Amino acid sequence: MKRHSNKSLDKFTQKWLGELPLDNPPTDFTQRIMDRVSGLPLPAKQAYSPLISNTAWMVLSTLLIVSIIAAYVFDLQPLGLFEEVNIWNSALGFGEISLLPNMDWSNPLVYASVVFGLLALLQFRLLRPVIESKNLA
């Protein structure tokens, strides 16, 4: 029903708009616009700054290394849920790596992990030239 009522309205507006004269822009319209745009100040470019600075990375890595050394020197023992994890002996070569004790990985999970890792490395390798060519880094 609405379509039929809109047809007469459409015909009326087409007839009314058809009678209006077309406005033509002046011949120097583009030049005047470009003059105004060129007079505007350019936005300031922001220099690239990483989210985490190099000094912050150095502090974090130093804290991590110091905490690992302190845990070894003071012979800290695992607590609670981590009694099964024997990372200190395994990291130094004194025992078997037991970070994931008695965990069986299915073949599809192993294949998916390997493929995902390879594709991630491939993506990084392919994206690096693009980022460097656009000066994004």
> In whole angstroms, what is the distance from residue 65 CA to residue 58 CA?
11
Instruction: Show contacts of 66-72: CB within 8 Å, 24+ apart.
Output: none
8 Å CB contact between 28 and 36? no
Work out the average pLDDT over 66-92.
63
**In the chain, what is the straight-line distance between the N-terminal and C-terminal CA atoms, in Å?**
60
pLDDT of residue 100: 47
pTM (predicted TM-score): 0.30
For 10-47, the pLDDT digits (tens) are 888 888 888 777 778 888 888 988 888 888 888 888 78
Of 74 and 38, the structure prediction assigns the larger pLDDT to 38
